[in-house]
Amino acid sequence: MSYFDRQYPGQTSLSGSCCASCSRGATTCGDTAVTVGGKPPSGPSPVDVLRAQVNRFRGPSAPSAFRYGPAKLPASGPIDMAVAIAAVLINQRRASDAYIKDHSLSAFLEDANRGFADPVAFVTKNLAEVTQTIAIYGDLNNVPPATTTVPGQILGVPTYMVIGAVAVVFLLLTRKG
């Protein structure tokens, strides 16, 4: 199985919204993250992986610019309102940051904003994409890594491969000419 679920010409996007319809190419889409594919780790449940990613942005170890709560949430449990609201806020921040760089991503921002209507339902319905968005957004912004997932892996993919993929995308997007 490929390490990427979806590949669009020139770029892979977490939302798919830009590059599925963007004819200008990767350097103008403004969405620098990649969609990490593969199966989730065999240990934690997908909800526990989401909780681990959300917890990267909570507590004293989270950088103050990216802190979404004073204390970590429990490492396991259902998608409750606390987890859902934190996930929606982080997802919306990532969409806002992308929109600031490229205003053609308004649909992506609107999709993220829909999460505020019913956070638990939104996160439940979009669990994989929200988890991946938070994981990659944290990695791109030097938020300390999740500690409760399978060591050496990000969403079931070896960490070195994710870092390599992010580096390749960054180099492609910043290439002149």
- 1 within 8 A of 75, measured Cβ to Cβ: no
**Mean pLDDT for all residues in the chain:** 74
Residue with the two structure tokens 């507590």: 59
Examine the pLDDT at 9 and tell me if it is beyond 50: no
Q: How confident is residue 173, by pLDDT bands cut at 50, 70 and 90?
A: confident
Per-residue pLDDT band at 171 (split at 50, 70, 90): confident
Query: Residue ranges of the domains in the chain?
Result: 45-153
Q: How many CA atoms lie within 13 A of 26 on its CB side?
A: 20
* Percent over 90 (pLDDT), the chain: 49
* pLDDT tens per residue across span 89-109: 999 999 999 899 998 989 989
pLDDT confidence of residue 165:
79
What does the DSSP assignment read for the chain?
--S-S--BTTB--SSSTTTTT--S-HHHH--------SPPPSSS-HHHHHHHHHHTTSSTTS-GGG---SSPPPSSS---HHHHHHHHHHHHHHHHHHHHH-GGGHHHHHHHHGGGTSHHHHHHHTHHHHHHHHHHHHHHTTPPPPSSS-TTEETTEEHHHHHHHHHHHHHHHH---
